[in-house]
Amino acid sequence: MARVNWSTLSKRWNQGVTLLITLNVGLVLFNLSYVPLRGLYLQYVPTLVQAYDPLKGIEPHPQTQTYLETVATLRQTLATQGLEAQESEALLADLRQQSMTLIEENPFLIENQMASFAQLKRRMRGYMQTASAQNAFQRFWSQAYLNEVGWPTALAYFDRRIEPILARNYFRQTIATGQFVDFFWWVDGFFMAFFAGELLVRSLVVSRRQPGVSWLDAIARRWYELPLVLPFWRWLRILPMLVRLHRSGLANIEWLLSQITHEPAAYLSNRISQYLLVRLINQTQDSVQQGTLFTADETALQVPVGEPDKVNRILDRLTELVIYRVVPTLQPDLEAVLRHSLKQALTNSNLYDGLRQIPGIETMPASALDLLASYLAQATCDILVDSYDDEQGRVLLDQLNRDFRQALGEEIKGQETATELKQLLFDLLEEVKINYVQREKIHDPEATLAEVDTLQQRPSS
């Protein structure tokens, strides 16, 4: 017996549910568009309108339906008895009366069909070349006019331009609360019940597989699927449909999402970056003015993180780097400086002027100075390293470090120096803040976002 591949089965199930959600969203969108676009559906798919009208409680409007039936009877009468027959005259008089009632009562008020009513009057006025719709209908349904232009020509225009407007007018039933009849929930109820059951079962499975995740937590994490089980705001089901299409692999909507959020994301990220930078600089400026940038503010809540006395630890670490890593690499430069300094000190001293009287002293090789400079540079490096490694030397260096920091701190805390440094730091931060915001006005945030997208698309090495 073949083993069941649960992974494949789960994937196929998710794809099937996704297709069902897509079908439901299609039905929801069609239902939302049916009333506004009923005229188009009636023109191109009349059988669909005949089947769907009862679901929306829609019936042909009795007034316009009677009007069209009277026109159909007139056409038959004219074809069999002619325009001069007494029955034809009676039908024309009836149509003139119905036209007057049609214009006065306006049966197109329901569902905001005023555009259709205006179009009806405009077409009739234009065809009859008169400014009054009532006069246009009265003259159109007269024996004299039909005899003048020929009733087949007049009725052909009516069938082509007037009848479609009258045919799409309808009457919609209402319930006791005054709302229109809508039985779409009969169809949607089956989908809602299925989606609710699928959501509950899947949430239960997740809560069983993941310890610490309750059944309600699992449902809350699928909040975007809740529109599938709500009888209102059905158009929101587009969101779970897109998510499920992407997750199931049936459609890749990454491009669509990036295009939809491109411009908002560009300008939003630009605004956020400006806000964060300005806020950070403002807080730093406040710390500079208050003198609490590198000192703890006892009035504020201080949360220690990591080792205590971090500033001293950083200085100790920098001292180690200087002694063991930086100073050895600078030894050639130190030799050059010492060589130059020794030579200058020697040649400028009074002792050297006296020694120049000794024969052969001027021919002393320059290598002696080089040797002395190398010795002093190497000795300096060795002294620093040995002192830092030696316990007593380390104590002396630490004392030197503390005294240096204390002396430097006292000088910095001086009124004149502290005021000057605070002002310089404040002005520097203000300059950075202003110049950054001004530069952001020059750079297009969409171009920056496009550059980010390009960098993300590059293959990683």
Q: 48 near 39, Cβ under 8 Å?
A: no
Q: 381 near 373, Cβ under 8 Å?
A: no
Please report, for residues 234, 235, 237, 418, the alpha-carbon distance to residue 231 in angstroms, rounded to integers and kept in the order given.
Answer: 7, 10, 11, 68
Q: Which of 265, 274, 272 is nearest to 439 (CA)?
A: 274
Identify the weakest region by mean pLDDT among 68-77, 198-207, 255-264, 359-368. Answer: 359-368
Q: Which of 161, 104, 79, 165 is nearest to 128 (CA)?
A: 161
Q: Which comes out higher in pLDDT, residue 250 or 118?
A: 118
What pLDDT sits at residue 121?
93
pLDDT digits (tens, 9 = 90+) for 23-36: 999 999 999 999 88
What pLDDT sits at residue 63?
93
Q: Which comes out higher in pLDDT, residue 384 or 188?
A: 188
pLDDT digits (tens, 9 = 90+) for 177-209: 878 888 999 999 999 999 999 999 988 888 888
pLDDT digits (tens, 9 = 90+) for 406-431: 665 565 566 666 676 677 677 776 77
Highest mean pLDDT, choosing among 135-139, 178-182, 283-287, 333-337: 135-139
Structure confidence at residue 303 as a pLDDT band (50, 70, 90) = very low
Q: What percent of the chain has pLDDT over 90?
A: 33
Structure confidence at residue 300 as a pLDDT band (50, 70, 90) = very low
Mean pLDDT of 337-360: 56
Q: Which of 137, 160, 138, 163 is nearest to 60 (CA)?
A: 163
Q: 124 near 166, Cβ under 8 Å?
A: no
pLDDT of 71 > 60? The answer is yes
DSSP 3-state of 172: strand
Please report, for residues 45, 271, 430, 444, 449, the alpha-carbon distance to residue 274 in angstroms, rounded to integers and kept in the order given.
Answer: 55, 5, 14, 14, 15
Tokens (6 digits) for 165:
């407007």
Structure confidence at residue 64 as a pLDDT band (50, 70, 90) = very high
Mean pLDDT of 121-129: 93
